[in-house]
Amino acid sequence: LNDFGTNLDHEKIFLKVFDLMNNYKQSPLGQILSYEFFVHCFETKLRMEHELSDPIMKQCLQESIKRPIFVSGMPRTGTTYLHRLLSLDPAARAPLAFELFEPVQRKKDDPVRDKQDRINIFQRQMDIVHMIVPRFAAIHEANAILPEECLCALSQDVPLFFPTFPQIIKPEAGVFDWNTGQAYKNHVKTLQLLQYQESKAQAEQGSGSPSQKRWVLKCPIHTTFLPYLYDAFPEATVVFTHRKAEEALPSFASLIETSQCMFHGSRFMQMDEIGLCCLKFMSKTVRCLDMADTKRSAHVKYEALTADPIRTVKNLYRSLDLEFTSEYESILQRFVAKDSEERQKLAGKQGGILHSYSRNKFGLCAELIKSEFSWYEQKYVY
């Protein structure tokens, strides 16, 4: 396989990130993990191009992606939790982690074994992450068979994943100038392929005509690339989550610290540098909200989401003119109760606090945060 497609920006962006990573010392283990990540990105890209060049598989490109919902916003503002809640609607469909990480089937003649193999490939990666940094599980829940964010798919075209997080938030990475138009168009193809695979499997099982479900997708980085998202997904609605910056910012810095610990080692980290990079990155991210199409967007406040998740989802459905069924409400009630119990257990293992962080650790003073985000909080949080 040698066809990477016609996306010239793909190579430019990867080379830019390569330069940044080569200029920042990684631990030996970090170098190995980063190498494996990039190899997987390129391998997946090659396999996708090859799959879609097959005359039979090209049929998947006729699949329509109707009225998808994207959850986005500043990192650490409840995007994962809201995405999980929305994915539980029987009328919705969220891509699972292994599907986005391994969208191309490896054993088409044995779907059961194929699915398990793809699950194992992703889960091995996450097991390594949890082994190196056990506290990561308390920051972001990730599992091969759980809904996952679009980073896994977009990473075929743009290097957005754990190894690159500490570098891409730096101003010199130029993320806000990246042309991700083709990446989002390829994301459409990934969803079309997954949708085609599911429809084909249902037909082979004799389960009747497959009913098309509404895709529910999620990634904070979407806020940065809204024009490209809207262009690739003309029927998309974007739901933005909002939280006080003094809470979200140090939580995000803690996530970056954890990622950096995985790949660079704690002895190379500068907490003040992490804090300042996160502040600048998040400040520019929320400025991108001005690009949101008011007719194709909705907003959810973190405080409301965590205080009463079911009512928040119900209100969101009303604003989007979606049917909120009694079946869905029952599913949410069971999930929220179980999730709360599991979070309490996990917090107990962490000394009573699920995710501990503070702005002082990262040199983030209240005055600086206020000067950067007061306008945002007045407009979206309060």
pLDDT at 209: 55
pTM: 0.93
pLDDT at 320: 97
Q: pLDDT tens, 26-42?
A: 778 888 888 998 999 99
Token pair 């079946």: residue: 327
DSSP readout, 155-201?
TTTS--SGGGHHHHTSGGG-GGG---HHHHHHHHHHHHHHHHHHHHH
Q: pLDDT tens, 237-261?
A: 999 999 999 999 999 999 898 888 8
- Alpha carbon distance 175, 195 (integer Å): 30
Residue 255: Cβ within 10 Å count: 21
Return the ∠ at Cα 28 (arms to 1 and 276), rounded to 5°.
100
Residue 39: Cβ within 10 Å count: 10
- 27 Cβ neighbours under 8 A, 6+ residues apart: 263, 264, 265, 268
| Chain mean pLDDT for the chain | 91
Q: How sure is the predictor about 345, in pLDDT bands with cuts at 50, 70 and 90?
A: confident
> Which strands, in side-by-side order, build the sheet including 214-218?
92-93, 214-218, 69-73, 237-242, 297-301
The yes-or-no verdict on residue 9 having pLDDT over 90 is no
144 within 8 A of 119, measured Cβ to Cβ? yes
Pull the structure tokens for residue 362. Answer: 């990262």
User: Looking at 47-118, which runs of residues are DSSP E strands?
Assistant: 69-73, 92-93
Q: How sure is the predictor about 208, in pLDDT bands with cuts at 50, 70 and 90?
A: low
- Alpha carbon distance 229, 226 (integer Å): 5
Q: Looking at residue 213, what DSSP letter applies?
A: P
